[in-house]
């Protein structure tokens, strides 16, 4: 069964990634796929006898509110490999007329008339802090934080083993896998972590 009007309807599938690869440096996260303009298929499978951890997308952070203003940020995943700080984009958060339904800190919800602004700081390719440039006004709930990788920096990616904890999702040994196929498929960069050199995995994708 195929979803109507999806690219997966084609009569053949072109895989634009190596069918197999390996962990090059055990205990160190490595980027294995850059950002794509579009993807209709992404498949990753663990072929090793040990666990692997995978992350997709950019570094992540959380905004902190105090009396309706953004006063600080908490780094949830600093990522690695950045050469240019990612842009800090804040979504939602306006508490217009105390209507909590429009105060949701999510994509697509209104921002306050005076929104906050901030910029990310890198140390050794990792997002280590976010500086508040303007705290904004009238926030009813903390806005969603998007760290958007610079188009001129294709290397930055979220870290599957950030701060020595397994922040990525687990691929179980001997065949554990994850797949997106259809109208919803992530297009962000992909990174993987394994404890031992040479652990094999499969990564396939289709534009």
For residue range 125-164, what is the model confidence (pLDDT) as tens digits? 999 999 999 999 988 889 999 999 998 888 899 999 987 7
Q: pLDDT for 33-89, tens place per residue?
A: 988 888 989 999 999 999 999 999 999 999 999 999 999 999 999 999 999 999 999
Q: Which CATH number fits the domain 15-56+158-206, given the four candidates 1.10.3470, 2.60.120, 2.170.130, 1.10.8?
A: 2.60.120
What are the tokens at 155?
Answer: 């290397």
* DSSP collapsed to 3 states, the chain: CCCCCCHHHCCCCCCCCCCCEECCCCCCCEEEECCCCCCCEEEEEECCCCCEEEEECCCEEEEEEECCEEEEEEEEECCECCCCCCEEEEECCECHHHCHHHCCCCCCCCCCCCCCEEEEEEECCEEEEEEEEECCCCECCCCEEEEECCCCCCCCECCCCHHHCCCCEEECCCCCEEEEECCCCCCCCEEEEECCCCCEEEEEEEC
pTM for this entry? 0.83
Q: List pLDDT tens digits, range 156-177.
A: 999 999 877 777 889 999 999 9
204 pLDDT higher than 70: yes
Model confidence at 97, in pLDDT bands (50, 70, 90)?
A: low
């Amino acid at each position: 069964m195929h979803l109507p009007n999806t690219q997966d309807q084609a009569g053949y599938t072109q895989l634009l990634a190596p069918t197999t690869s390996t962990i090059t440096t055990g205990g160190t996260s490595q980027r294995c796929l850059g950002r794509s303009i579009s993807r209709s298929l992404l498949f990753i499978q663990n072929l090793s006898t040990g666990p692997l951890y995978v992350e997709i997308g950019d570094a992540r952070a959380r905004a902190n509110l105090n009396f309706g203003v953004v006063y600080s940020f908490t780094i949830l995943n600093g990522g690695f490999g950045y050469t240019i700080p990612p842009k800090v984009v804040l979504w939602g958060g306006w508490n217009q007329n105390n209507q909590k339904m429009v105060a949701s800190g999510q994509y697509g919800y209104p921002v306050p008339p005076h929104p906050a602004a901030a910029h990310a700081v890198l140390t050794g390719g990792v997002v280590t802090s976010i500086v508040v440039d303007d705290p904004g006004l009238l926030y009813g709930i903390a806005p969603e934080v998007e760290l958007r990788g610079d188009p001129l920096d294709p290397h930055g990616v979220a870290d599957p083993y950030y701060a020595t904890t397994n922040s990525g999702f687990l691929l179980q040994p001997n065949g554990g896998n994850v797949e997106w196929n259809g109208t919803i498929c992530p297009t962000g960069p992909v990174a993987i972590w394994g404890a031992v050199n040479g652990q094999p995995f499969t990564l396939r994708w289709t534009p």
